[in-house]
Amino acid sequence: MPNAARIALIAALPLALPARASADDTQAPPASDMQRELGASSMLVFGLMPVAGFGFSSSLTLRWPHSSMLLEQRTLEAFSSNDVQAGQRSRAWLGVASVCYHHDAVFMCSIIQGGAFDTPVPEDLELTGDPSRWIMTTGGRGGADWCTSRRLCIRGFLELHLIPTRLTLKLGDLTVGQTSSVAALAGLGVTMPVDLE
């Protein structure tokens, strides 16, 4: 009789295991599911304005296991004024779109950035270039994430940008660039996964 019970248990065990695995599959989301992340960063800016500056940004990221797409809003301001008499500092309001590749904690991205640029112009200088003061840059980003928990990651990154259209100021035969041909940004921030459902 014990042998019959043992045989019945062994015969029923393979039938129970697939059912348990199926139930677990319905509870755990597939690895290919998209995840949404909100982020905020502070950054140092070099070459994008007449003098070095700082800025803050907020972002929304659509994240897959090995790739992501990021939309970001940035506000930048120069550390000091390039017009002592006016006492005003250059500012920029930018929108950023990037596509990234992720390998473990490291990521690399291609970036396009554009927006409005505001710099004070002394009365004895004449602005040349695009009168609308719109700026557009393209470049790349590299960095790494350090996750302290499932709900919080610290992100550090470095960006290099090319500026095809430069704003310049003209005084007689002298022309002074208000932006460099190449700009660099270094940032540190946090990201948090969110569920919008």
pLDDT tens digits for 120-175? 766 666 666 555 578 889 999 999 999 999 899 999 999 999 988 776 666 566 66
Q: Do 98 and 70 touch, CB atoms closer than 8 A?
A: yes
Instruction: Return the structure tokens found at 72.
Output: 């970001």
- Architecture (CATH level 2) of domain 34-194: Beta Barrel (2.40)
Q: Do 38 and 59 touch, CB atoms closer than 8 A?
A: yes
* pLDDT score for 53: 93
* Rounded distance between C-alpha atoms, residue 136 and residue 164, angstroms: 7
* pLDDT score for 28: 40
Above 70 in pLDDT, residue 76?
yes
* Phi, psi angle pair for 178, to nearest 5°: -90, -15
pLDDT band at 83 (very low <50, low <70, confident <90, very high): low
Instruction: Tell me which of 24 and 196 has the higher pLDDT.
Output: 196
Its pTM stands at: 0.74
Closest by CA to 119, choosing from 174, 182, 166, 167, is: 167
* Rounded distance between C-alpha atoms, residue 55 and residue 70, angstroms: 18
Above 50 in pLDDT, residue 19?
no
Would you list the domain boundaries of the chain? 34-194
For residue range 110-123, list pLDDT tens digits in order: 999 999 888 776 66
